[in-house]
Every structure is written in structure tokens, then in C-alpha cells.
């Protein structure tokens, strides 16, 4: 069964410092991987995705993520954090073998706190 793990409930970083939010996955084949951000009492907003090709993908708001097949990881990164990046971040995986669109499974979420 496919699954996603975000091992950190919260990540704290100072403004201007680099940030990393971790994600590991488990699927039977080659995964489709996604990162989303959620602000309080709102829906999720898409940040970036990995489908195939270059292991480093770039997304919205200066975020990027690195796909590592051997470590089954897809960590979210940003070179310089902003206070406005403070939010709840979700990693998600879709099993490419599960039908036309298939199940989209989310991790537990990681709260990012950026302090001035």
C-alpha cells in the first residue's frame, strides 16, 4: 500500500536561513509526488510536483524539492525563508498504477515556523 511520512511535526527556522521539510514515501512503482501548503482555515495550495526527469524540481514562491529514489525521499527546500512562509506543509503521493487518476495520499503535515 502506498504511504507518505513527514517525520517532523514542526520545523523552526530563522528568517533568511535555508529551510528543509522532509518527506519519505512508499509506493510499488515510480511515484508521482506533490507538495502543498495550507494557511489557517483554508484549502490546500499546490507548490510543486515530481513526475519524471530532473530530480530537482522548482515550484511556486521560490520553493524547490529534490527527488531521491534510493532514499525514497522528496524533501521540500527553500534557500532563504520568509516569515510569510509560516504555514502547514503537506507531501502527497499518487500511485501511478492505481487507475486513471488513482488515490492521492497525504502525509500528516509539517508546521513551518519562520521567526524574524
**Closest among 72, 77, 73 to 59, alpha carbons compared:** 77
List the one residue from 29, 103, 113, 115 that touches another protein (CB under 8 A): 103
**Which CA distances in Å does 97 have to 28, 52, 82?**
8, 15, 38
Counting DSSP H helices and E strands in the chain, the numbers are 0, 12
Query: Does residue 90 belong to the site contacting another protein (CB under 8 A)?
Result: yes
Candidate ranges 20-28, 61-69, 73-81, 93-101; the one touching another protein (CB under 8 A)? 93-101
Query: Does residue 96 belong to the site contacting another protein (CB under 8 A)?
Result: yes
Which residues of the chain form contacts with another protein (CB under 8 A)? 6, 9, 32, 34, 36, 41-46, 49, 51, 90, 92, 94, 96, 99-109
Amino acid at each position: 500500500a502506498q504511504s507518505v511520512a513527514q517525520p517532523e511535526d514542526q520545523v523552526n527556522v530563522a528568517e533568511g536561513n535555508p529551510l528543509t521539510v522532509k518527506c519519505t514515501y512508499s509506493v510499488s512503482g515510480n511515484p508521482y509526488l506533490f507538495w502543498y501548503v495550507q494557511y489557517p482555515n483554508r484549502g490546500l495550495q499546490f507548490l510543486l510536483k515530481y513526475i519524471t526527469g530532473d530530480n530537482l524540481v522548482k515550484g511556486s514562491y521560490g520553493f524547490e524539492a529534490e527527488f531521491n529514489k534510493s532514499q525514497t525521499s522528496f524533501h521540500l527546500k527553500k534557500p532563504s525563508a520568509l516569515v510569510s512562509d509560516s504555514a502547514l506543509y503537506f507531501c502527497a503521493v499518487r500511485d501511478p498504477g492505481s487507475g486513471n487518476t488513482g488515490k492521492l495520499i497525504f502525509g500528516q503535515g509539517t508546521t513551518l515556523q519562520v521567526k524574524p
